[in-house]
């Protein structure tokens, strides 16, 4: 086990010194989506830089706070911004917060991201329910010695995205009149956007959207026995689909525009989770 993971008891102790809340659901709020954290009431916000073992966010659109409180009555812990392999962090560092949130007693992980649309039927601003993923990062956060007290050496990934949570999300979207897309997410290392040739390859492999996150966190959540729901905001169409260059500014602009719809969907899901669990 890489040294950073051994720091989780200190991180948990530090966070518990700031709040007595025991979260049921953990949320990872991706690029431009951190404003969702403002939906959390009676909130305690702790900067990442204060938490033992936590990296710091270096990307615009990632606020860099761990927020604990309630959302629609559901006790939650939310990451306002995540970490990425391309920032120079190991995947153990990238996924360390998932381990910490699990040890804070969260049993469900809702992971969000901004993604490029590969499926030609998608449009910028669509929301996509992740049904499965393809790991193209050339790495895995579980490499190295295994701590059997945390999880199995060879965890099953055949239902990485929990069927019950996916069904619940579809039910909420239908009630809200939202056309919630479904698809497979391809996780790549970044930080460059993909070339048109790479997008054609990903489409041939069956991917509907592509991004530079999510896969490592989902692997670790499954390893720890958490139930996972994944949601992508399609912030742009991938390279070669539209005759225009890609930019991070476009990602943030689309995330901001779609925010009310995304917040309504997450709120509905959390209300259902609180009601049913």
Binding site feature residues for phosphate: 31, 62, 82-84, 114, 213
Side-chain half-sphere of 190: how many Cα atoms within 13 Å?
20
Contacts of 47 (CB under 8 A, 6+ apart): 64, 65, 66
Mark whether 114 is an active-site residue: yes
Mark whether 18 is an active-site residue: no
* 113, 222, 236, 255: the active-site residue: 236
* 124, 186, 207, 212: the active-site residue: 212
CA distance 268 to 87: 33
* 36, 79, 106, 114: the active-site residue: 114
Mark whether 213 is an active-site residue: yes
CA distance 4 to 95: 10
Mark whether 84 is an active-site residue: yes
Mark whether 248 is an active-site residue: yes
Mark whether 87 is an active-site residue: yes
* 2, 135, 248, 267: the active-site residue: 248
* 8, 11, 31, 173: the active-site residue: 31
Mark whether 123 is an active-site residue: no
> Binding site for a purine D-ribonucleoside: which residues?
194, 236
Closest CA to 233 of 122, 128, 132: 128
Mark whether 90 is an active-site residue: no
Mark whether 102 is an active-site residue: no
* 84, 101, 119, 185: the active-site residue: 84
Looking at the annotation, which residues are catalytic?
31, 62, 84, 86-87, 114, 212-213, 236, 248
């Amino acid at each position: 086990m890489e040294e950073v993971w051994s720091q989780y008891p200190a991180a948990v102790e530090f966070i518990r010194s700031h709040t007595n809340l025991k979260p049921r659901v953990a949320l990872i709020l991706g690029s431009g989506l951190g404003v969702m954290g403002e939906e959390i009431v009676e909130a305690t916000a702790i900067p990442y830089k204060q938490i033992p073992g936590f990296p710091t966010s270096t990307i615009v659109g990632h606020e860099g706070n761990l927020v604990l409180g309630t959302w629609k009555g559901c006790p939650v812990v939310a990451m306002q911004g995540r970490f990425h392999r391309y920032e120079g962090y190991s995947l153990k560092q990238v996924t360390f917060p998932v381990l910490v949130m699990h040890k804070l007693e969260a049993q469900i992980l809702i992971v969000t991201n901004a993604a490029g649309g590969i499926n030609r039927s998608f449009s910028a601003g669509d929301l996509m329910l992740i049904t499965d993923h393809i790991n193209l990062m050339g790495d895995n956060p579980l490499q190295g010695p295994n701590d059997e007290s945390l999880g199995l050496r060879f965890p099953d990934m055949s239902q990485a995205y929990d069927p019950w949570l996916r069904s619940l999300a579809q039910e909420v979207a239908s009630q809200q009149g939202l056309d919630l897309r479904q698809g497979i997410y391809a996780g790549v290392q970044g930080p460059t956007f993909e070339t048109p040739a790479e997008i054609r390859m990903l489409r041939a492999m069956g991917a509907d959207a592509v991004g530079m996150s999510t896969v490592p966190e989902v692997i670790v959540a499954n390893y720890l026995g958490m139930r996972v729901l994944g949601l992508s905001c399609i912030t742009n169409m991938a390279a070669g689909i539209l005759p225009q260059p890609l930019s991070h500014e476009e990602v943030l602009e689309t995330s901001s525009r779609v925010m009310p719809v995304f917040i309504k969907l997450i709120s509905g899901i959390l209300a259902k989770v609180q009601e049913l669990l």
